[in-house]
C-alpha cells in the first residue's frame, strides 16, 4: 500500500494519514532501522576505529526517519483523536519502547561511540562533541557499561521503580475518586462560581440525588477554596485535598501512598548508586545545566533569603486585610478579595481587547521586528482540520527557513493545554538541508457566531510562551537533529526562550501592538495597562516561597536518603517549612502523598528547574528592559547565542556569551515584585 507515513515528501500528508497506516509504517521503519544499525556496526567490526561520519551520521539519519514517521501520528493523536487512531497509536507504544531500550542497551553501539569520542574531529559539524558526549552519558545512565550481574539488577530496579511510580499515581487517582461532598444547603455555597455549581448540580442529578455533588478534582477544589464564603466548607475541602492518598485521608487505607513513597526513594537511590552516583539527586543532575546538589541548594537558599521577608510581609498584609489570623484554607479566599480590591482587574474586562487575530498579528509583527522573520500563510498546505493553518517562515533575505503549523481552538477530540512540538527537525548530514517545522497548539475558545476568539491575558502569555519554544526549534543553525533546536537542551534550561518571550506581553508598547477592542478597535487603555502590570507581582513573594518549599523538599529527600535508614519524608518537609513557609501548616497535612510531579517520575530531584529556568529567562529579558525592548542588536545576540545553538553548547557558557556575565537572580526577584521598596510598601500599605 502507498503509505503516506513512509513518504519522503517535504511535509506530512495530514489529510491522507489513516489509522490503518500507522502500525505498518512504524513496524517497517523499526525493522529497517534495526537492520541498518547492524550494518553500521558490522562495517566497523574488525576494521579501523569508526569515525563520526560513518557511525553517527547514519544513526542520525535513522533517528530522523523514525521521527518523520512517528511525529505526525503522535500529533494527530493529540489534536484529532479517534478511537481507531488511539488504538493504532497505543499498539505502537510498546514497539517504540522496545526499540529504544534495545538501542540504549546496545553495548557494541556504546563501544563504537567511545571510539568515536577518542578520535573526534569536532570542527566539521557544529555540535558533534556535544552529541557524542550526551550519547555516552545516556548510555552510562542506562547502565549499559555495567558488569552483567549489576546490569541485571539495575534493569530490575528500573522496572520495579516504574511500577511503583505508576502505583503512586493510581493510588492518588483512586483516593480522589473515593471522596465527594454532597450538599443540600444552598446557603453554604455562597460565592462559588456558577459554572462550578452547575457542574455539581449535574453530578448530583446524575447520581439521583438532590442538591449538589462535589468531586475532589483540581478545578472544584480551587473554586471552593478561592470563592466559598463558608469557612467550614473551605476547611472541609482543604482537609480532603491535603490528606489525599495518605494515612490521614478519609479514603480507604489501601490508597495510602506512604509505603510507595519509601519504596520509590529506596529504588531511586539504589539505581543511582549502581551507575556510580552518591544519590539520586546527583543522578538527576547529570543531565541538567545545574552541576551539583550543592549548586542547586545554594541557588534555592539564595532565593529564599531574598524572598522570605517580603513573603512574610505579604502574609501580614493579607491578614490585616482579612481582619483575623488566617488558616491554610483562608489564604486563597482572602487573596482573591484583596486582588480585586487592589487592582480591580478581571479577565472579562481584558478579553474584548485581545481578539486572537489581532494578538497573533501583533506577535508576528514582534517576531519580525526582533528577528527579521516573516510568517506567511500558505493555504495550499494540507492540515488535519479547517481551523489549522500553515505558515512559511521567511528570513530577512527572503529565504524560507522553516514552517509553522498552528491549531488554536479547543475541540472535543483534542488534548487540553498548549504546547509546541517538533514536526520536522532541521537536518543536514551531507545531503540536502531539511528545514525545521513546528506545531503550535493551544486550546482557546473558538470564535462565536458574531465574535472572534477573545483571549484573557493569561492566554496571551501562553501564546507568547509557545511561540518562544517554536522560535527555539525554527531558528536553530545546528544540522545534527539530536542536538538541534530544543533537542539536547538540558531540562532546566529548555524553558528559557519560552518564558523569555512572555516578558514582552507585559510591555506597554507591545500591549499596544497586540491589543485592539474587537468592536471599536481601541488598544488597551493606558490606565488598564498600568493596573494589569501592577497585578503581575501580586503576592509574588508568597508564590516564590511556596515553590521554594517544593523544590527544597524534593532536592533534600533525594540527596539525603540513606539506605537502611528511615527516609524522613515528613521530617524533612517539616524542616523545610520551618525554614521557608509563611502560611501555617496543619498537623494533618500530607502534601507529599499527592506530589505526583516528583513521586510519579518526571520532576524527581528536578523541581528546582522551574525557578532555575525562570532566573535565566528573567535575566535574559532584563537585558531588553535595560537596552530597549525592540533593540535589534540585542535580539541578534539572543538569536545567535541562545536560540540558534540547540543543545550543541554548554548553556552556562551560552548565557555568559549573551549577557556578558553569569545569571543573576535580581531580575526574577524584581519581576516577582520582590524589592526592598516593595517590601516596605507592602508592609505599611493598607487595603
Q: Judging by DSSP bridges, how do beta strands 400-409 and 437-444 pair with one another? A: parallel
Q: How far is the CB of 617 from Zn ion (least distance, A)?
A: 10
Comparing CB distances to Zn ion, the nearer of 443 and 498 is 498
Comparing CB distances to Zn ion, the nearer of 287 and 675 is 287
Q: Which residue has the cell 491554610?
A: 328
Q: Judging by DSSP bridges, how do beta strands 374-377 and 389-394 pair with one another? A: antiparallel
Q: How far is the CB of 52 from Zn ion (least distance, A)?
A: 32
Active site residue 625: no
Q: How far is the CB of 495 from Zn ion (least distance, A)?
A: 5
Query: What span, in angstroms and rounded, lies between the C-alpha atoms of 647 and 663?
Result: 18
Comparing CB distances to Zn ion, the nearer of 21 and 473 is 473
User: Is 366 within 8 Å of 61 (Cβ atoms)?
Assistant: no
Q: How far is the CB of 287 from Zn ion (least distance, A)?
A: 18
Comparing CB distances to Zn ion, the nearer of 310 and 420 is 420
Alpha helices in 80-191 (DSSP H): 83-104, 107-118, 128-141, 148-177
For Zn ion, the binding residues in 498-527 under the rule CB under 5 A are 498
Comparing CB distances to Zn ion, the nearer of 429 and 496 is 496
x-or-dash pattern for Zn ion, window 239-268, by CB under 5 A?
Answer: ------------------------------
Question: Between vectors from CA 636 to CA 633 and to CA 641, what angle results, nearest 5°?
Answer: 125
Q: Classify the C-alpha dihedral 517-523-527-530 as positive or negative.
A: positive
Comparing CB distances to Zn ion, the nearer of 179 and 419 is 419
Q: Which residue has the cell 553517527?
A: 56
Comparing CB distances to Zn ion, the nearer of 55 and 463 is 463
Q: Which residue has the cell 577518542?
A: 118
Q: Does 609 bind Zn ion (CB under 5 A)?
A: no
Q: Which residue is catalytic, options 60, 466, 507, 549? A: 466
Q: Of 586, 609, 490, which Cα lies nearest the Cα of 246?
A: 586
Comparing CB distances to Zn ion, the nearer of 498 and 609 is 498
For Zn ion, the binding residues in 202-241 under the rule CB under 5 A are none
Q: Of 321, 155, 374, 327, which Cα lies nearest the Cα of 231?
A: 327
Strand partners, 406: 389, 440
Residues 6+ apart with CB under 8 A from 154: 143, 146, 271, 274, 275
For Zn ion, the binding residues in 129-188 under the rule CB under 5 A are none
Query: What span, in angstroms and rounded, lies between the C-alpha atoms of 87 and 6?
Result: 20
Query: What span, in angstroms and rounded, lies between the C-alpha atoms of 424 and 466?
Result: 17
Query: What span, in angstroms and rounded, lies between the C-alpha atoms of 216 and 371?
Result: 46
- Residue 350: other Cβ atoms inside 10 A: 21
Check residue 443 and report its DSSP letter. E
Q: Of 135, 130, 127, 113, which Cα lies nearest the Cα of 55?
A: 113
Query: What span, in angstroms and rounded, lies between the C-alpha atoms of 212 and 230?
Result: 15
Query: What span, in angstroms and rounded, lies between the C-alpha atoms of 247 and 257?
Result: 8
Residues 6+ apart with CB under 8 A from 299: 290, 608, 611, 612, 615, 665
- Residue 251: other Cβ atoms inside 10 A: 20
Comparing CB distances to Zn ion, the nearer of 251 and 499 is 499
Q: How far is the CB of 288 from Zn ion (least distance, A)?
A: 16
Alpha helices in 178-279 (DSSP H): 194-206, 218-227, 231-242, 258-274
Q: What would the grid cell of residue 671 be? A: 519581576
Cβ-proximal residue to Zn ion, closest one: 498
Q: How far is the CB of 415 from Zn ion (least distance, A)?
A: 15
Comparing CB distances to Zn ion, the nearer of 473 and 659 is 473
Q: How far is the CB of 465 from Zn ion (least distance, A)?
A: 6
State how far Cα 658 lies from the chain centre.
24
Residues in binding contact with Zn ion, number by CB under 5 A: 2
Q: How far is the CB of 387 from Zn ion (least distance, A)?
A: 22
Q: How far is the CB of 672 from Zn ion (least distance, A)?
A: 18
Check residue 328 and report its DSSP letter. G
Check residue 384 and report its DSSP letter. S
Q: Classify the C-alpha dihedral 130-433-27-40 as positive or negative.
A: negative
Q: What would the grid cell of residue 200 be? A: 455539581
For Zn ion, the binding residues in 480-499 under the rule CB under 5 A are 495, 498
Q: What would the grid cell of residue 446 be? A: 473558538
User: Is 500 within 8 Å of 468 (Cβ atoms)?
Assistant: yes
Query: What span, in angstroms and rounded, lies between the C-alpha atoms of 383 and 76?
Result: 10
Q: How far is the CB of 455 from Zn ion (least distance, A)?
A: 18
Q: What would the grid cell of residue 119 be? A: 578520535
Q: How far is the CB of 497 from Zn ion (least distance, A)?
A: 9
Comparing CB distances to Zn ion, the nearer of 480 and 551 is 551
Element (H, E) at 313: helix 293-322
Residues belonging to the active site: 466
Positions in the binding site for Zn ion (CB under 5 A): 495, 498
Amino acid at each position: 500500500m502507498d503509505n503516506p507515513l513512509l513518504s519522503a515528501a517535504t511535509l506530512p500528508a495530514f489529510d491522507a494519514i489513516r489509522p490503518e497506516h500507522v502500525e505498518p509504517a512504524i513496524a517497517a521503519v523499526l525493522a529497517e532501522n534495526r537492520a541498518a544499525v547492524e550494518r553500521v556496526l558490522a562495517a566497523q567490526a574488525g576494521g579501523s576505529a569508526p569515525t563520526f561520519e560513518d557511525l553517527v551520521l547514519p544513526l542520525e539519519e535513522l533517528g530522523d526517519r523514525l521521527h518523520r514517521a512517528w511525529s505526525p501520528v503522535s500529533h494527530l493523536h493529540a489534536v484529532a483523536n479517534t478511537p481507531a487512531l488511539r488504538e493504532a497509536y497505543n499498539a505502537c507504544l510498546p514497539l517504540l519502547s522496545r526499540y529504544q531500550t534495545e538501542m540504549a542497551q546496545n553495548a557494541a553501539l556504546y563501544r563504537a561511540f567511545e571510539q568515536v569520542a577518542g578520535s573526534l574531529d569536532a570542527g566539521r559539524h557544529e555540535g558533534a562533541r556535544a552529541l557524542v558526549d550526551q550519547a555516552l552519558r545516556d548510555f552510562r545512565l542506562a547502565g549499559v557499561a555495567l558488569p552483567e550481574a549489576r546490569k541485571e539488577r539495575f534493569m530490575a530496579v528500573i522496572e520495579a521503580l516504574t511500577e511503583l511510580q505508576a502505583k503512586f499515581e493510581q493510588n492518588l487517582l483512586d483516593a480522589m475518586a473515593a471522596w465527594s461532598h454532597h450538599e443540600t444547603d444552598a446557603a453554604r455555597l455562597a460565592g462559588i462560581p456558577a459554572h462550578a455549581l452547575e457542574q455539581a448540580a449535574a453530578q448530583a442529578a446524575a447520581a439521583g440525588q438532590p442538591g449538589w455533588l462535589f468531586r475532589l478534582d483540581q478545578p472544584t477544589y480551587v473554586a471552593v477554596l478561592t470563592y466559598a464564603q463558608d469557612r467550614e466548607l473551605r476547611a472541609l475541602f482543604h482537609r480532603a485535598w491535603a490528606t489525599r492518598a495518605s494515612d490521614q485521608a478519609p479514603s480507604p487505607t489501601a490508597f495510602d501512598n506512604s509505603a510507595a513513597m519509601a519504596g520509590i526513594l529506596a529504588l531511586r537511590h539504589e539505581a543511582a548508586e549502581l551507575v556510580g552516583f552518591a544519590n539520586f539527586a546527583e543522578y538527576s543532575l547529570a543531565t541538567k545545566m545545574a552541576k551539583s546538589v550543592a549548586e542547586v541548594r545554594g541557588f534555592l537558599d539564595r532565593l529564599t533569603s531574598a524572598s522570605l521577608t517580603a513573603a512574610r510581609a505579604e502574609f501580614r498584609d493579607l491578614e490585616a486585610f482579612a481582619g483575623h489570623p488566617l488558616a491554610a484554607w483562608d489564604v486563597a479566599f482572602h487573596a482573591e478579595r484583596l486582588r480585586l480590591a487592589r487592582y480591580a482587574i478581571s479577565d472579562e474586562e481584558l478579553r474584548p481587547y485581545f481578539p486572537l487575530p489581532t494578538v497573533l498579528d501583533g506577535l508576528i509583527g514582534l517576531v519580525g521586528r526582533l528577528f527579521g522573520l516573516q510568517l506567511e500563510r500558505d493555504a495550499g498546505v494540507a492540515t488535519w482540520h479547517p481551523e489549522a493553518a500553515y505558515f512559511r517562515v521567511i528570513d530577512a533575505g527572503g529565504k524560507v527557513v522553516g514552517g509553522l503549523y498552528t491549531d488554536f481552538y479547543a475541540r472535543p477530540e483534542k488534548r487540553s493545554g498548549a504546547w509546541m512540538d517538533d514536526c520536522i527537525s532541521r537536518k543536514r548530514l551531507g545531503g540536502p538541508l531539511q528545514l525545521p517545522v513546528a506545531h503550535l497548539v493551544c486550546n482557546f475558545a473558538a470564535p462565536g457566531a458574531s465574535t472572534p476568539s477573545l483571549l484573557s491575558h493569561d492566554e496571551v502569555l501562553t501564546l507568547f510562551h509557545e511561540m518562544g519554544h517554536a522560535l527555539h526549534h525554527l531558528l536553530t543553525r545546528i544540522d545534527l537533529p539530536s542536538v538541534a533546536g530544543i533537542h539536547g537542551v538540558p531540562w532546566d534550561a529548555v524553558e528559557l526562550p519560552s518564558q523569555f518571550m512572555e516578558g514582552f506581553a507585559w510591555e506597554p508598547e507591545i500591549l499596544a501592538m497586540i491589543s485592539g477592542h474587537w468592536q471599536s478597535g481601541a488598544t488597551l487603555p493606558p490606565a488598564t495597562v498600568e493596573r494589569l502590570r501592577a497585578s503581575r507581582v501580586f503576592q509574588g513573594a508568597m508564590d516564590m516561597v511556596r515553590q521554594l518549599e517544593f523544590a527544597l523538599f524534593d532536592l533534600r529527600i533525594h540527596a539525603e536518603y540513606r539506605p537502611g535508614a528511615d527516609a524522613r519524608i515528613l521530617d524533612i518537609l517539616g524542616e523545610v517549612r520551618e525554614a521557608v513557609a509563611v502560611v501555617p501548616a496543619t498537623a494533618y497535612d500530607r502534601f507529599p502523598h499527592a506530589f505526583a510531579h516528583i513521586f510519579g517520575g518526571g520532576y524527581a530531584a528536578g523541581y528546582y528547574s522551574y525557578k532555575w529556568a525562570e532566573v535565566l529567562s528573567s535575566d535574559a529579558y532584563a537585558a531588553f528592559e535595560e537596552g530597549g525592548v525592540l533593540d535589534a542588536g540585542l535580539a541578534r545576540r539572543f538569536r545567535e547565542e541562545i536560540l540558534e545553538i540547540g543543545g550543541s553548547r554548554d548553556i552556562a557558557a551560552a548565557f555568559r556569551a549573551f549577557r556578558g556575565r553569569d545569571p543573576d537572580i535580581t531580575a526574577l526577584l524584581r519581576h516577582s515584585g520582590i524589592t526592598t521598596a516593595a517590601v516596605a510598601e507592602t508592609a505599611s500599605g493598607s487595603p
